[in-house]
Amino acid sequence: MVTSGHVVVTGASGMLGSHLVRRLLAEGHRVHGVDLLPAAHTHPELAHSQGDVRDAALLARVFADASAVVHCAAALPSYPAEMIRSIIVDGTHAVLGAARRVQVPRVVHISSTAVYGLPRLVPTPEDHPREPVDPYTRAKVEAELLVERFRADGLCVPVLRPKTFLGPGRMGLFAMLFEWAEEGRNFPVLGRGDVRVQMFAVEDLVDAVLTVLAAPEDVAGDTYNLGAADFGTLREDFQAVLDAAGHGRRVVGLPAAPTLAALRALERSGLSPVYGRLLYKLRADSYVSIDKARDRLGFTPRLANRDAILATYRWWRANRGATATGAGRTSREPWRQGALSLAKIFF
């Protein structure tokens, strides 16, 4: 159980890491962030080391007096395959190894529901087979296998598997929806857009991290799905953003088969950031069971999909001048739309 003390956060300048650092400081913890980027903010109880999460010597120094580590650092699906594996797998191995060497009591590993690949069962439970389908999901699964090895050796490693999380600072492909909404355009979805896709508010994810830090070891050392309890269809969530933009625009359905063929061709050519697993998520229900987190961990999310996406949109509107460009190298940057930016003239 970690109720106070020194907490290290890897990926501390990323979207999740920066929210978590701020909350830990507010809760009275001393925090040490590790990131390739400078610290996202300053505080008397915040130290920050600019460095690579794969640097075992750096990690051992930073972890030396830590009461817990929260491992948020990761790669995005848009990275080259070899970089994805190196950052996610080698980075996780370095974090776990350093934590064991200096005897950190608890390491919270932020994984993803992506480990299920393209699950056959919804809502998807934690014991569903992990069936990776691309470099990102393979790396996430391999990292979890590392966690299980270290758990077997006695290290307490809670694993949190969130759905795609949203909130202030989140960009990625959501920036395209926000940009099109702000410009007064309709927004396309595959088919009727009536698939149910669960998301997760970053505020709730931070709450879950603090919950698992405070939980008894026998409860914490487990694996938990996380996602919104209240979520609707893609059409409903996207329409909420268009309504908030105030231009009277609508979500427009596109014929699924030819649209999918075109998007796959653009993906293969490198002209679009949309990747295969995302295409599946856009045409099939995608949500997980969160019963275990509620019943065993005592965690219940507060915010609905719509709350999370609208909060993200409001942040984007207030900060769009500072987020207009980006290479999409982090979730705090908008992904380049590529050929999809040309499609807006039809909407």
Q: How far apart are CA 13 and CA 41, in angstroms?
A: 9
Q: How far apart are CA 112 and CA 226, in angstroms?
A: 9
- Band of the pLDDT at 99, cuts 50, 70, 90? very high
Q: How far apart are CA 268 and CA 158, in angstroms?
A: 37
The structural domains of the chain, ordered by start, are: 6-165+199-226 (3.40.50.720), 167-197+230-286+304-346 (3.90.25)
| H or E stretch covering 47 | strand 46-50
Which of 342, 337, 331 lies closest to 13 in space, CA to CA?
331
pLDDT of amino acid 2: 63
Tens of pLDDT along 173-230? Answer: 788 889 999 999 999 888 888 999 999 999 999 999 999 999 999 999 999 999 999 9
**Other Cβ atoms closer than 10 A to 341:** 13
Q: Which two tokens stand for residue 173?
A: 């492909």
What are residue 189's DSSP bridge partners? 253
Q: What's the chain's average pLDDT?
A: 89
What are residue 286's DSSP bridge partners? 197
Q: How far apart are CA 174 and CA 38, in angstroms?
A: 24
Q: How far apart are CA 53 and CA 73, in angstroms?
A: 7
pLDDT of amino acid 63: 97
- Residue 111 in this model has a pLDDT that exceeds 80: yes
Q: Phi and psi at residue 76, in whole multiples of 5°?
A: -100, 160
Q: Phi and psi at residue 236, in whole multiples of 5°?
A: -65, -45
Confirm if 55 and 91 have CB atoms less than 8 A apart: no
Exposed e or buried b per residue across 142-161, where buried means at least 16 C-beta atoms within 10 angstroms of its C-beta:
bbbebbeebbeeebbbbbbb
What average pLDDT does the segment 287-306 reach?
97
Q: What is the DSSP string of 129-191?
A: PP---SHHHHHHHHHHHHHHHHHHTT-B--EEEE-SEESTT--BTHHHHHHHHHTT--EEEET
Which long-range contacts link 266-274 to residues 24+ away (Cβ below 8 Å)? Answer: 266/338, 266/339, 266/340, 270/338, 271/338, 271/339, 272/337, 272/338, 272/339, 272/340, 273/78, 273/173, 273/328, 273/335, 273/336, 273/337, 273/338, 273/340, 274/173, 274/340
Amino acid, single-letter form, for residue 217: E
- Band of the pLDDT at 161, cuts 50, 70, 90? very high
- Residue 331 in this model has a pLDDT that exceeds 90: no
pLDDT of amino acid 324: 47
Q: ∠162-163-167 over CA atoms, to 5°?
A: 90
Q: Which two tokens stand for residue 93?
A: 């191995």
Q: ∠289-160-32 over CA atoms, to 5°?
A: 155
pLDDT of amino acid 256: 73
Give the CA dihedral 172, 162, 19, 177, nearest 10 degrees. 30
Tens of pLDDT along 56-82? Answer: 999 999 999 999 999 999 998 888 999
- Band of the pLDDT at 1, cuts 50, 70, 90? low
pLDDT of amino acid 52: 97
- Residue 343 in this model has a pLDDT that exceeds 90: no
Percentage with pLDDT > 70 across the chain: 84
Confirm if 273 and 328 have CB atoms less than 8 A apart: yes
Q: How far apart are CA 283 and CA 196, in angstroms?
A: 9
pLDDT of amino acid 258: 77
